[in-house]
Amino acid sequence: MDARALWALSGLAAGVCGCFVVVDVNEGGCDDASRCSARSDHLWSVIAIEDRVSPEHHPFPVTLAVGRKGDAFLGTSFRGQVNLGAGPMDGEGDGSLWEVDIALARRNRKGELLWAKTFTGPGISALGGMAAKGADHLVLAGTFDQRLNLGGTVLAHPYPSGFVAELDGAGKPVWTRPLLLDDLAMVDMGPVTVDRAGGVIVSGAHEGTMDLGGISHDSGGELSFVARFDDGGAPLWARTIGTSTDDRIKAIAVDAAGDIVAAEDSAKGYLMWVTRLDADGARLFRKRIRGTVSDVVTPYALAALGSGESILAGHATGLGVTAAEDLDLGPGGEGCFVVKLDAAGAVVWAQRFERACFKAVSVDDEGRIVLGGSLSGTEQIGGKALTSDVERPLLVELDGHGKLLWSKLAEGSGAGRAEAIGVDALGRVLSGGTFQDTLDFGGGPLTTGGDDGAYFLTLLAP
């Protein structure tokens, strides 16, 4: 297998404080009936992508970004053909293993499809991450091999490389920035986020030296990095944060001051890292959540609060505290967790779940925390036992202290999970995920047209 094939496989495969509080999710919190029903009222649900569940046919995840006015941007990589609601769209290749393209779609705040389009090239063009910018712009980052047509702007390079770009509301490039490697080396672009000034933060891992457009970055090996660009796409700095070639950034967020928080996991599986950088890229802390070599610890999602605090969701088969830099999430066995960290990386509070698991996190302008995930079995949520005989999508909201405000468990005949979530400027909660058979968030059932399932979008009112 040549170096290009190796790159392709790699690119598609991211002091203990004693002041924390373990919040008991069984103690309730919905003592105000009107507040408990707030933001859980259903506005609309749509099937955004058909035939989306089966890994055999569609192995690439869907990325959701939510604009300030509630528009939904969906992005994914695909082989051969994809349908994001406007009919089948073809890639440049024939769907073979080494031919991958990118597809994007935008829906308005009513769920109506505005456009869907593909960005294609002769080799592997893979979406790493994307984020909404303002009301209707979109920033995306990913990888390309040889050539990539980004809506009429063509990026070309003899070696596999990365890219970052901003698109306007019609999906046309505002600016593009190739991230060029100097050899047949590995590149793996990860999540991206946007700061309040419109600056762009990208993440990933690469070998060799990368030219970001006037700034060169040598990661020191196949290590995770974070890079910052200004509002117009000019590079400001790049920093290596990974300490092992096993580390990959799975989630990234930026707070009101411009500080950046990143969550990494390790291919070895028994630890994850949380790293905080200031606006200039200086490291403020690097903490870890650790199990033993027989445990698995995985970060799922991350959100930054305006106060400098952050919210992290993940899963662990077991947890241990073995060193000063380890984060102590308190007692608990196998299951998922949600933890709030202060600006110094200390645990403020932590919640543990046995049957519910949250893979998406977002925060609103008032510091409330919205979680998206799934429930299989019975879990006490807000003093009420929620039960599902199969895995079903679950949405909840917490206040800044970890107190539950509301929860909403979808109904239906098949399995599903919420995999992405966002909050617009009006406080409406937009969630996306996969399901099979039927799904109902309160507006009537959605029904899939085939055995492979579908990807849903649902909007809840404030």
**CA 98, CA 8: separation in Å to the nearest integer?**
7
CA-CA-CA-CA dihedral for 341, 346, 349, 350, to nearest 10: 80
Q: Looking at residues 112-138, what average pLDDT do you find?
A: 94
Output the CA–CA distances (angstroms, integers) from residue 117 to 10, 93, 114, 120, in the order listed.
26, 16, 10, 10
Residues 356-374: tens digit of each pLDDT: 999 999 999 899 999 999 9
- Work out the pLDDT band at 157, boundaries 50, 70, 90: very high
pLDDT in the model for residue 318: 85
Contacts with 93 (C-beta within 8 Å, 6 or more apart), sequence order: 79, 80, 99, 100, 101, 122
Question: Domain ranges in the chain?
Answer: 15-461
CA-CA-CA-CA dihedral for 222, 204, 455, 79, to nearest 10: -60
Kindly report the average pLDDT of the chain as a whole number: 87
Above 60 in pLDDT, residue 124?
A: yes
Instruction: Name the architecture of domain 15-461.
Output: 6 Propeller (2.120)
- 185 vs 462, which has greater pLDDT? 185
Residues 256-297: tens digit of each pLDDT: 999 999 999 987 778 899 999 999 999 999 999 988 777 889
pLDDT in the model for residue 25: 35
Quick one: CA dihedral 50, 51, 55, 56, positive or negative? negative
